Structure 1
Amino acid sequence: MMPRQAPIGILGGTFDPVHFGHLRPAVELLQHLGLAEVRLVPGRVPPHRPPPRVGPGQRLAVLREAVAELPGLRVDDRELHRDGPSFTVDTLCSLRQELGDRPLCFALGTDAFLGLPRWHRWETLIDYAHLVVMERPGHPTRVSGAFAQWLEARRTRDPYDLRARPAGQVYFLPVTQLDISATGVRRLLARGESARCLMPERAWRELAGRGWYGYPQV
């Protein structure tokens, strides 16, 4: 039996705007799990949060600048071309159709994972991809009830399992979680203050000079 190709990681979000709090965990996913790449997938209409502050084209432009010098990270804009809410299950189904039986690892934070039972068709996500839960080091995720039983039947503690099959496992990975938020970045920009060093320089220059989140900066 031929070994499978290295898994592809998927990390979604509004990226409104992207910052190092998004990018550092993506780099750690890439390295710790030996992924072929991590695709950052900006959503058009997030189902569980307010609409993004700026339009999809603007967020996409900044995101592309942010990953331009980060090998292994790339932007996948498929959700921006779909009408209606950006449901994760639709994105994973699309990727599965495109990539065949190549392993996929959909990464999400602890808060998102705990809210998973409220997601659209959440129980089918694992049919299309492995779930990788990004934890804060020293703060293990705790679940209870039926959700805990669902997790126990699918959890693996061996990262090799993410390579051995295309989908179906849940793996917990401690990652560096920087205390940076898109909300905080937007507030700085709206006040005309600099958000420099909170994101890659190329991304900062792309959004700051255009004043997309407030006053133009220099």
Structure 2
Amino acid sequence: MLGGTFDPVHIGHLRSAIELRDALVLDRVHMVPARMPPHRATPGVDAEQRAIMLALGIADTPGLYVDDREIRREGPSYSTATLASLREELGPHARLVMALGYDAYLHLADWHEPQRLFELAHVVVVDRPDHRQPLPMALETLIAGRDVASVDALMQSPAGGLLHLSLPTRMAISATAIRERLQRGASVRYLLPEAVERYLLARRLYQ
């Protein structure tokens, strides 16, 4: 599971999803657009349009899948509820992984039912090689004893582990910067999949 607002989806999101799929040898990556993210402002573009752009961006990429369960669910888009739904579908023995970036990881202890996240899935942190800082005490407590050193070790069980992973391609692409460029009429060519660019320009999204 790779969640986010995808506001809009860009090349960095999609490349990270592919590299996570390959590095973890996953059957598929559920890319889950948040309807109502609990830890940030609700996006200005509605969830249905963000899901359409995500589908356009993924196109026929093997192993990537748009999962709209948070859009269909009322209330805040809690990851615990999403993982619980996936666990119910996939069964108790499936190896389920939630991937998140390092910045989000630093706030993991403040999430809704953080302990339950590990009961439902493994957590994989996509590290930023140039960015390390002391972990909050609550996070240290939450992750105590969960670290594993390799993908093979992580996949020995269905859930409960923590793996730090560096992806080979680091793209300094920001959805915030893309929105700002669109607002001032600047080009976003090659920052987004071409089909996504056509969709949002035709509808004057973010302008």
Normalising by structure 1, we get a TM-score of 0.89
2:153 is matched with which residue? 161
Please list, as runs of the form range in 1=range in 2, the aligned pairs for 1:1-218 lying within 5 A after superposition.
10-100=1-91, 101-137=93-129, 139=131, 142-143=134-135, 145-175=137-167, 176-214=169-207
Shift of 1:208: 1.6
User: Which whole-Å CA distance do the structure 2 matches of 1:38 and 1:163 have between them?
Assistant: 15
Unaligned runs of 5+ in 1: 1-9
Q: Given that residues 100 and 125 in structure 2 are in contact (C-alpha distance below 8 angstroms), is that contact kept between their aligned partners in structure 1?
A: yes
- CA displacement at 1:141 relative to structure 2: 6.2
The runs of 5 or more residues in structure 2 that have no matched partner are none
Instruction: Give 1:200 deviation, angstroms.
Output: 1.1
Q: Over aligned residue pairs, what C-alpha RMSD do you find?
A: 1.5
How far apart are 1:212 and its partner, in Å? 1.6
- Find the residue that maps to 1:171 and give its secondary structure: strand
Query: What is the CA distance between 1:147 and its match in structure 2?
Result: 2.9
SS in 2 for 1:41: strand
Following the alignment from structure 1 to structure 2, what is the Cα–Cα distance between the partners of residues 129 and 174?
19
1:164 to partner: Cα distance: 1.8
Change (3 A) 1:69 1:204: farther
Deviation at 1:42, TM superposition (A): 0.2
Q: Letter of the 1:21 partner, please give it.
A: G
Are the equivalent residues in 1 in contact too, given 2:107–2:139 (CA < 8 A)?
A: no
Instruction: Summarize deviations over 1:194-217 as a string: whole Å, max 9, x none.
Output: 211001112111212221221xxx
| Aligned residue pairs, count | 205
Check conservation: 2:108, 2:139, Cα contact below 8 A.
Answer: no
**When the two structures are superposed, what TM-score results if normalisation uses the length of structure 2?**
0.93
SS at match of 1:164: coil
Q: Percent same amino acid among aligned pairs?
A: 46
Q: Which amino acid aligns with 2:102?
A: T
The residue type equivalent to 2:10 in the other structure is H
Residue 106 of structure 2 contacts residue 136 of structure 2 at CA under 8 Å; is this kept in 1? no
